[in-house]
Copies of this chain bind each other. A is one copy, B any other.
Amino acid sequence: MTVRSEPAQHAGMRASNLALVLGEVVRTGPVSRARLAARTGLTKSSVSGLVADLITAGLLQESAPAATERGRPATALSLAPGGVAGLGLEVNIDYLAAVVTDLTGAPRYHHVVRRDNRGREVADVVADLIELARAAAGSADAQALPLAGACVAVPGLAVDGTLARTPNLGWDRVDLADAVREGVGLDVELENEANLAALGEMWFGGHQHDGAPLRDFVHVSGEIGIGGGIVIGGEVFRGANGSAGELGHVVVDPAGPLCACGGHGCLERMAGQQEILARAEVSTVEELTRACEAGDRAALDAVTEAGRHLGVALSSVLTLLDPSAIVLGGAFATLAPWLTAPTAASIGHHSGTAPRLLVSGLGSDAAVRGAAGTVVRRVIADPAAHLARQVARAGS
């Protein structure tokens, strides 16, 4: 439990500078060594050495010399699209998904299998997931993309690779990470779906704030349940026990009905998919969308009502966390045309502020893409570790 940072040694210095240089390339796109030196504060000679390592590691590549105004033309350095790739997987209530992403973040494989997984044998679902993962790994192999690992998005709390709690799927203590690891032979980590969706949105959603990618925001995913992902300083905020951000169980009506979580008046109980559909007298989100498009009174009222409750919860989020934006994702993104106005109005009424309310461009893909991105970003954040692993593999 003792929090103690590592001693700073020469190797760590180099590791940190490798990450600094690589990160700069990720942020700014193709750059010359000279420009990297200027932007990172390192000297040209240091940058040259660092870049050489990153090129041999297969993370960077030299592009064609770009003509500058005067003087010797710069050789641009860019991320190697074939350097490493990440496998993202997702187990959700009504679908399984797999994505392979390369270093640049581009999706190189994408497959979704829709099927309601509630009530199915856990082992069957896991077997399906592994099959999906193998197909994705096969595709990565065919494209000569070396997978650095896998990350599984799960609709619940993941603790040390074990799925500890999945309220909407009913699974309990499933050792999913081990199962997938054995199935595909990769390092596997588990992470909450809402958190990964937030990260996916940050990395691939294209939202900006003051000209830079969003780094402090809350992502709300309206799936069967209502999930929330809090991103602070570009990283997911997990809280002391890993269950922070559960927006679905914020109290929006102190006098409200009992929720499955044991509380009363939770947002999910008042504005969850089940409630909205019932109030609109339809049975799927597609039907609801069509009804809204057709101007159906009950449907519009149901969505407006949900927006009002959502606004109460988001008011608390805004005052407590002060994010620079809120992103509506999942089914809420689909319903955005009818949902945003009442939500914004409710926020205004309850907190007196008018926040930036954005709509996800990735929708339900955000989580898998975030999962794949997590693997790749781990390499980007610590290229030295990746280099060491390569050396170890070559040696054995």
Residues of A within 8 A of B (CB): 1-10, 12-14, 16-17, 20, 23-24, 27, 39-42, 46, 210-212, 215-216, 228, 230, 232, 234, 237-247, 249-254, 259, 261-265, 312-313, 315-317, 319-324, 349-353
CB-CB under 8 A for A240 and B262, given A7-B40, A250-B319, A320-B250? no
Report whether A316 and B322 are in contact in the complex, using a CB–CB cutoff of 8 Å.
no
Min CB distance A355 to B, Å, is: 10
Q: Given the complex, which residues of B lie within 8 Å of A20, measured CB to CB?
A: 4-5, 7-8
CB distance from A36 to the nearest CB of B (A): 11
Given contacts A40-B7, A42-B7, A211-B1, are A320 and B317 in contact (CB under 8 A)? yes
Q: Is the CB of A312 within 8 A of B251?
A: yes
Contact B7 A17 (CB under 8 A): yes
In the complex, are the beta carbons of A254 and B316 less than 8 A apart?
A: no
CB pair B240 A322 closer than 8 Å? yes
Which residues does chain B contribute within 8 Å of A241, judged by CB atoms?
322, 324
How many copies make up the complex?
Answer: 2
Q: Find A4's partner among B2, B16, B39, B322 (CB 8 Å cutoff).
A: B39
The 10 closest A-B pairs by CB, nearest first: A262-B352, A239-B322, A240-B324, A244-B322, A8-B16, A216-B240, A8-B13, A263-B351, A263-B352, A7-B41
Report whether over half of chain A's contact residues are helix, strand or loop; otherwise say mixed.
loop
Contact of A322 with B243 in the complex, beta carbons under 8 Å: yes
In the complex, which residue of chain B has the Cβ closest to the Cβ of A234?
Answer: B3
Residue from B216, B316, B350 in contact with A239 in the complex, judged by beta carbons closer than 8 Å? B216
A42: chain B residues at CB < 8 Å are 7
Closest to A250 in B: B316
B12, A322: Cβ atoms closer than 8 Å: no
Known interface pairs A264-B349, A351-B251, A352-B263. Does A245 touch B5 (Cβ–Cβ under 8 Å)?
Answer: no
Interface centre among A3, A212, A228 (most CB of B within 10 A): A3
Kindly list chain B residues whose C-beta atoms are within 8 Å of the C-beta of A230. Answer: 320
Instruction: Select which of B27, B247, B254 is within 8 A of A320 by beta carbon.
Output: B247
When distances are taken between beta carbons in the complex, the residues of chain B under 8 Å from A215 are: 3
Contact assessment for A263 and B350 in the assembled complex, using a CB-CB cutoff below 8 Å: yes
CA distance A2 to B215 in the complex (A): 11
Chain B residues lying within 8 Å of A8, measured Cβ to Cβ, are: 8, 12-14, 16-17, 20
Sample of 19 further A-B pairs with CB below 8 A, known A246-B322, A262-B353, A316-B320: A1-B212, A2-B27, A3-B212, A4-B20, A7-B17, A7-B42, A8-B12, A8-B13, A12-B13, A230-B320, A232-B237, A240-B323, A249-B319, A251-B252, A252-B254, A262-B351, A263-B349, A263-B351, A320-B320
How many Å from the CB of A301 to the closest CB on chain B?
17
Known A-B contacts A2-B27, A4-B40, A320-B247; the reply to A350 vs B264 at CB < 8 A is yes
Residues of B within 8 A of A265 (CB): 350
Q: In the complex, which residue of chain B has the Cβ closest to the Cβ of A21?
A: B7
- Closest residue of B by beta carbon distance from A233: B3
Residues on B with beta carbons closer than 8 Å to the beta carbon of A10: 13
Assembled-state Cα–Cα distance A250/B350 (Å): 9
